[in-house]
């Protein structure tokens, strides 16, 4: 029961959090007592909108709602292309008016995908699974152990959460109210130990947030998470790639996909886009960081792990079509064709593009754990104009590093707000999301804003400004060690710069 309760508390952690103030990521630590990046301060004291130049930012993600009320006026329009079924600009992509979808094709769009680990196991299991351990390569044994562990955990989570949901539903039915209160659960007479435990959980959660419907939403989301893992991500028999119609083995194939840059679920990419450039002065929705951006939508990320081939093509497409900043809020633990991605990154570097990448949400030290893509080339060297971003919270205390955020003294460059960030979601909606996926577009928005007002700066110079202008953190913070236990470390141990990005400071530096 102890493990069961821990699982449930973890799943409803977002429910238990107090609601944050929208736009906190753009506020100022001194003036507003929240550890934002001082965007509003910059607009009120430094920025003259008349002097800005438009900067194109590519959002390589799972899709963007190009019709969203707070984004539609900043969505990139390819000036050499129209919707007519033809490749007007002769770039190999017909009707790429707002970007391109590399995980769609003539038969539709991929929604769910397997993990890269699943694909690796599927590729090799026929060769190794019937052999004695002494004949199986060590690398495959480690992958198989990881796969089996993840699958067992997912099945256990689905089973436990299903039983929990059924028990809560049964208790709610007995209470006789669709949205019972904490008092209703307090007055409920539990008939066995299991109901007693669930009663305690419900009373604790409803004390923190009395909205029972929000709790139900979190439980439903947790159950969907586990079911998706079992049915799709870790399912060796699931393979949707035929939808795309490409030769999946041809890692350098370029011209495939379709023009549906929204796809079946654009919530994540729309949220990322809003953080970067949602219209600031329309009195609706949210305020993006950069006031004169265009958002190019490049769809390569399914619900599951992206493929290296698609990532590489997304980077090349963005670079070829004028993106000055690329945001990549995705990552995975394994990579089959890293050199293909490396070649695309090198190509972007040659085009003076700044790449901003989310560090990941496993709470791990990236100095000793793999996360792909990354700046390090397999043939030696690294991408200079690459910024790796961890996620921070709003309070300047020992919990400043988000509990889920990856970190690394030599592998993560900066931290940025990534906890309970309010931004646009699909269908003219808005919501709070947490993750390094939210921290990365904060930095991408900062980079875009710098390039708007200082267009002569190179990508490397913009990165240097961002790194040098952080607000240093001079107190220890909690992170997880290799065993998952919390420990206090200096902030200089979690990232290279030792601080939280600050756009006001960066623009001040750029002026001098």
d(CA 205, CA 218): 11
Which pLDDT belongs to residue 482? 83
Q: Burial of 247 by CB count in 10 Å (0-12 exposed, 13-18 middle, 19+ buried)?
A: exposed
The β-bridge partners of 479 are 487
Residue 51 in contact with residue 510, Cβ under 8 Å?
A: no
Which pLDDT belongs to residue 342? 98
The 10s digit of each residue's pLDDT in 204-235 is 999 989 999 999 999 999 999 999 999 999 99
CATH of domain 2-113+240-511: 3.40.50.200
The 10s digit of each residue's pLDDT in 26-42 is 999 999 999 999 999 99
pTM of the model: 0.94
Residue 223 in contact with residue 162, Cβ under 8 Å?
A: yes
Of 338, 447, 476, 340, the C-alpha closest to 389 is 447
d(CA 52, CA 406): 34
And the tokens for 217? Answer: 């939403």
In the chain, where are the structural domains located?
A: 2-113+240-511, 117-233
Which pLDDT belongs to residue 2? 38
The parts of the chain modelled with pLDDT lower than 70 are: 1-20
* Contacting residues for 189 by C-beta, under 8 A, at least 6 apart: none
């Amino acid at each position: 029961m102890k493990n069961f309760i821990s699982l449930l508390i973890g799943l409803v952690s977002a429910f238990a959090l107090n609601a944050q103030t929208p736009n906190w990521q753009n506020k100022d630590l001194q003036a507003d007592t929240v550890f934002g990046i001082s965007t509003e301060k910059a607009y009120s004291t430094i920025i003259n909108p008349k002097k800005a130049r438009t900067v194109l930012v590519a959002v390589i993600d799972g899709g963007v709602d190009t019709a969203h009320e707070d984004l539609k006026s900043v969505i990139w329009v390819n000036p050499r292309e129209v919707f007519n079924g033809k490749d007007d600009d002769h770039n190999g992509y017909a009707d790429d008016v707002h970007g391109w979808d590399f995980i769609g094709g003539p038969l539709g769009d991929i929604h769910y995908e397997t993990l890269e680990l699943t694909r690796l196991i599927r590729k090799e299991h026929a060769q190794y699974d019937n052999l004695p351990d002494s004949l199986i390569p060590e690398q495959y044994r480690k992958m198989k152990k990881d796969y089996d562990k993840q699958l067992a955990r997912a099945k256990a989570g689905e089973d436990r959460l299903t039983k929990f949901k059924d028990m809560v539903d049964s208790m709610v039915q007995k209470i006789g109210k669709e949205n019972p209160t904490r008092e209703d659960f307090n007055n409920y007479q539990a008939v066995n130990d299991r109901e007693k435990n669930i009663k305690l959980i419900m009373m604790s959660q409803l004390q923190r947030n009395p909205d029972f419907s929000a709790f139900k939403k979190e439980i439903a989301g947790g159950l969907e998470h586990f079911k998706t893992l079992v049915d799709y991500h870790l399912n060796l028999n699931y393979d949707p790639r035929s939808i795309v119609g490409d030769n999946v083995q041809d890692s350098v194939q370029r011209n495939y996909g379709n023009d549906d840059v929204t796809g079946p679920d654009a919530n994540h990419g729309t949220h990322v886009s809003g953080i970067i450039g949602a219209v600031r002065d329309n009195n609706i929705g949210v305020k993006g960081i950069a006031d004169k951006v265009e958002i190019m939508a490049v769809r390569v990320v399914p619900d599951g792990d992206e493929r290296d081939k698609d990532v590489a093509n997304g980077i090349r497409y963005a670079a070829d079509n004028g993106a000055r900043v690329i945001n990549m809020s995705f990552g995975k633990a394994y990579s089959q064709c890293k050199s293909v991605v490396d070649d695309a990154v090198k190509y972007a570097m040659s085009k003076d593009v700044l790449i901003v990448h989310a560090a990941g949400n496993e709470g791990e030290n990236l100095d000793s754990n793999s996360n792909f893509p990354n700046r390090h080339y397999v043939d030696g060297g690294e991408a200079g104009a690459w910024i790796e971003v961890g996620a921070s919270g709003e309070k300047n205390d020992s919990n400043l590093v988000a509990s889920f955020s990856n970190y690394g003294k030599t592998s993560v460059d900066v931290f940025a707000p990534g906890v309970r960030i309010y931004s646009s979601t699909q269908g003219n909606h808005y919501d709070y999301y947490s993750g390094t996926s939210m921290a990365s577009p904060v930095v991408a928005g900062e980079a875009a804003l710098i390039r708007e007002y200082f267009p002569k700066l190179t990508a490397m110079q913009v990165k240097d400004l961002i790194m040098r202008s952080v607000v240093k953190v001079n107190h220890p913070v909690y992170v997880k060690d290799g065993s998952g236990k919390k420990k206090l470390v200096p902030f200089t141990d979690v990232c290279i710069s030792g601080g939280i990005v600050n756009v006001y400071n960066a623009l001040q530096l750029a002026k001098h």
